[in-house]
Each structure stands twice: as C-alpha cells, then as structure tokens.
Amino acid sequence: MKIGIVCYPTYGGSGIVATELGMDLAEKGHEVHFFSLNVPARLNIKLPNIFFHRIHVETYPLFQYQPYDLALSTILYEKILQYQIDLVHVHYAIPHAYAAYFTKKMLESKNYKLPIITTLHGTDITLVGKHPVYKTAVEFSINESDIVTSVSESLKQETLAAFEITNQIIVVPNFIDNEQFLPEKCVCCRDHFAEPNEKIILHVSNLRKVKRIQDVIDTFYLIQQKIPAKLIIAGEGPEWELADTMIQEYGIENKVKSLGMVSDLADVLKSADLFLLPSAQESFGLAALEAMAASVPVISSNAGGIPEVNIDGLTGFVCPIGDVEQMAEKAIYLLSNEKELMKFSHAAKQKALTFDKKAILPQYEQIYLNALELYLIHI
C-alpha cells in the first residue's frame, strides 16, 4: 500500500505514535508519505520507503493567521496524484481530517477515490474540539471520515458524549516497541543521577499546565522526607518556571535534576524506580506505558485513559487528580518495600507487552484494507 500520514512534528504522544506507525509500516514494505510542518521528532527519513512532504505555509500580510489547512489540502492533493497514494491516515480531527476532506473533494474532480482514516488523540476533542468556534467542524470531520479510531475507550466515550457522531469509533490503543527497552539495548545511567542508597523518581512530559508539574514537585517533597530519593524531570515546556520556583522554595535544589529534551529516553527510564504522571487530562498516557515497558511502576492520576494503561494495585497506583498526599503515600509504600516494588515492576512490564507494536500494527493494516474495500479498491 501507498499510505499518507498527516501528523504534528512534536514530541507529544500523537506525533510519536504516528511516526512510529509510519516507520513500522515502511519496514513491512509499505510506501509511507509523511505530511507535516517539519520532520517529525522521531522520524528517520533515511529509511527505505519513507517520503517526507513539508507543509509550507506562505506568509501574507493580509492574513493575521496563516491558512495552514488550505496549504495542507493543496499539498495533499498534489502529492497524492503525483505518487498515486492509496489512502490518508490523519492524526487529529482538526485541522487534519478537516483538510483531508477538502482534498478528497478536490480529487473527486479527477475521479480519484481517497479513503480517509482519522485517529483521535485527545486534544482535538478535550481542548480544541469542544470550543464552540470549532465544535461543528470537528463533528463534521469525524462523521465524514471513512474510518475513525480512538486511542482509548475513555476518549471514545468522551467524543460520543460531546458530539453528535454518526460514525463508528474503533478503539486502537497507542503502542510501543518493547524491544527498545531490553536490558542489552539500554545503557544504565543510574549512577549519574543518584547515590546507591537513593531511589529515583521520574517525570516525563511537555510541562504544559495540564500535566500538573506542581503535583510532581509536591509529591516528591513528601516522598523525600521519608525516603532518600532524587527527582528527575525530562522534558521542556511553559510550566518549568513554576516548577523551578517551587523547587527553590522547598529547598530541594540538590535533589532535583532537569534533563530538558532527551533523545535516549529508554536509558533514562531504565534508571528509575518509580514514574509520576499526575495529569489533569490524558487521553491515553503514552509516557506511563513507556515507563512500564522499562519495568517501572507508575503512580498516576485517574484522568482520561490512564487507568486503561496503569492498572491500580497491579502496575502501580491510580489516585484522584490533585491528591498529592495519596500519591506520596502510595509511592512511599512501594519504595520502602523492595519485594512489592519488584512485584509491581514485573507486572508493569507484562502489561506493557500487551501494547506491543506486534499486536497493534496488524490492526491498523486491517483498517486500511477495510477502508480501501469501501471504495472497491484492491491492492
């Protein structure tokens, strides 16, 4: 198959999953075309069967906000005809599914049939989509897609509750490559972060407000009063100044290390004893899944789809959003009981294996074939 993938080029969950999906499909022999503003963060464009098409948005003084969706529709139209792409898989209903719909309509003038698969990741529903300015367009984009998938049951139900959806929504969870977390493929950097008697608590995110970095700091402050520990924060974002201020006010500067953006995340994860994810909203919780793949138990909030990944009392603990006392209590329980920590660590890894790409990738391939079948297109 010749597959077009439209995604954002960021380190966020949607960009990572879309990129990994495309590269894995290319490895299986499919021709994959990426459409994005920039080269996606994890995309290896040197791989065979991978093509990248930059969406260039021309700047005109006439427009206060440049027409990204118009530029996307146009380049999709041109490249689909040029390369005879079979279908397009867009990540985010708005603006990507919206733009793909207009591409589809333009292609109809050339008697070209284009199946569109839309994957909902969360922000397009939970933040942008519900806004009155965008709601009608989001609803239209979902209903006009040929096949719609959601990364979690929680997000599916939230979508059905927020919009009048006539399309079926298929839950296809995010996935990871567990082989990346094999001990022989990771370089342990534990000695760089902590003394032998100290436990390592890790948080990875884009440090947006929704990630509640203040809860990470508050929880760690309570933990380190009972357990010798260090906190590692990986990622960059607008809430770092708040975190830095809290760290100084608590006087724990020598117990917290900020790594910024890291390329060797698997190595960092393998060095951790516990992972914190206290988000206010999380459609899936890919960061938690990656931690679990590295055999790291998770202390998380109960936001969105996180409980579908982090199973309370098995792979970690799930606490109410903002309940830092309970998060700290559960963390101290695990970190002070080595036998329990090992049990949770093993369970976390076993759960992560159920989200391996070997199990999820065939689901997408079948969805693509089903979409082509709708138009009686046979590959």
For 42-95, write each residue's pLDDT tens digit.
888 888 899 999 988 777 776 666 678 888 999 999 999 999 999 999 998 778
Look at residue 379 and tell me if it is in a domain.
no
Residue 161 and residue 297 in one domain: no
Q: What is the pLDDT of residue 350?
A: 97
- CB contact at 8 A, 292 and 298: yes
Which pLDDT score is estimated for 188? 65
Task: Please name which of 226, 302, 327, 229 lies closest in space to residue 272, comparing C-alpha atoms.
Answer: 229
Cis peptide preceding 95, ω within 30 of 0: yes
Note down the domain range covering 60: 2-175+357-374
Residue 343 lies in a domain: yes
Residue 58 lies in a domain: yes
On the question of pLDDT at 187 being above 80, the answer is no
Q: How many CB atoms lie within 10 A of CB 134?
A: 18
- Please write down the HEC assignment for all residues of the chain: CEEEEECCCCCCHHHHHHHHHHHHHHHCCCEEEEEECCCCCCCCCCCCCEEEEECCCCCCCCCCCCCHHHHHHHHHHHHHHHHCCCEEEEECHHHHHHHHHHHHHHHHCCCCCCCEEEEECCHHHHCCCCCCCCHHHHHHHHHHCCEEEECCHHHHHHHHHHCCCCCCEEECCCCECHHHHCHHHCCCCHHHHCCCCCEEEEEECCCCHHHCHHHHHHHHHHHHCCCCEEEEEECCCCCHHHHHHHHHHHCCHHHEEEEECCCCHHHHHHCCCEEEECCCCCCCCHHHHHHHHCCCCEEEECCCCHHHHCCECCCEEEECCCCHHHHHHHHHHHHCCHHHHHHHHHHHHHHHHCCEHHHHHHHHHHHHHHHHHHCCCCC
pTM for the whole structure: 0.90
Query: Do 284 and 164 share a structural domain?
Result: no
Q: Which residues pair with 87 in a beta bridge?
A: 3
Examine the domain organization and report whether 192 and 292 are in the same domain: yes
Which own/partner contact pairs does 333-342 have at CB distance under 8 Å and 24+ positions apart? 334/274, 334/297, 334/299, 335/199, 335/223, 335/227, 335/229, 335/273, 335/274, 336/226, 336/227, 341/273, 341/297
**Residues 326 and 319: beta-carbon distance below 8 Å:** yes
Q: Is the pLDDT of residue 377 over 90?
A: no
Mention every residue, 6+ apart, whose C-beta is less than 8 A from residue 162: 125, 129, 130, 135
What is the average per-residue pLDDT within 256-274? Answer: 91
Q: Residue 133's pLDDT band (boundaries 50, 70, 90)? A: confident
The pLDDT score that the predictor gives to residue 183 is 72
Cα(326)–Cα(299) distance, integer angstroms: 10
Any idea what the CATH number is for the domain that residue 219 is in?
A: 3.40.50.2000
Q: Would residue 212 count as lying in a domain?
A: yes
In a domain, 32, yes or no: yes
Is residue 8 a part of any domain in this protein?
yes
Sheet with 316-319: list strands edge to edge: 256-260, 229-234, 199-204, 274-277, 298-301, 316-319
Residue with structure tokens 């982090």?
310
Here the tokens at position 21 are 């999906």
Identify the weakest region by mean pLDDT among 50-64, 140-154, 359-373.
50-64
Is residue 39 located within the same domain as residue 66?
Answer: yes
Residues 225 and 158 in one domain: no
Regarding whether 141 and 74 lie in a shared domain, the answer is yes
Query: Taking the CA of residue 289 as centre, how many other CA atoms within 13 Å lie in the half-sphere pointing to its CB?
Result: 28
Give CA–CA dist 234/212, Å, rounded.
14
At residue 66, the pLDDT reads 67
The answer on 145 and 79 residing in a single domain is yes
Same domain flag for 323 and 263? yes
Report yes or no: 165 and 116 within 8 Å, Cβ to Cβ.
no
Instruction: Say whether both 198 and 316 belong to one domain.
Output: yes
Does pLDDT of 116 surpass 80? yes
As a whole number, mean pLDDT of residues 122-130 equals 63
CA 258 to chain centre: 21
- In this prediction, residues 119-137 reach a mean pLDDT of 73
Q: Give yes or no: residues 289 and 276 share one domain.
A: yes
User: Is residue 19 a part of any domain in this protein?
Assistant: yes
Tell the burial category of 84 from Cβ atoms under 10 Å away from its Cβ (0-12, 13-18, 19+): exposed
β-pairing, 147-150 vs 229-234, is unpaired
- 21 and 162 belong to one structural domain: yes
Q: Are 284 and 13 in contact (CB under 8 A)?
A: yes
- Flag whether 15 is in a domain: yes
- Does residue 238 carry a pLDDT above 80? yes
Same domain for 187 and 170:
no
Domain count, the chain: 2
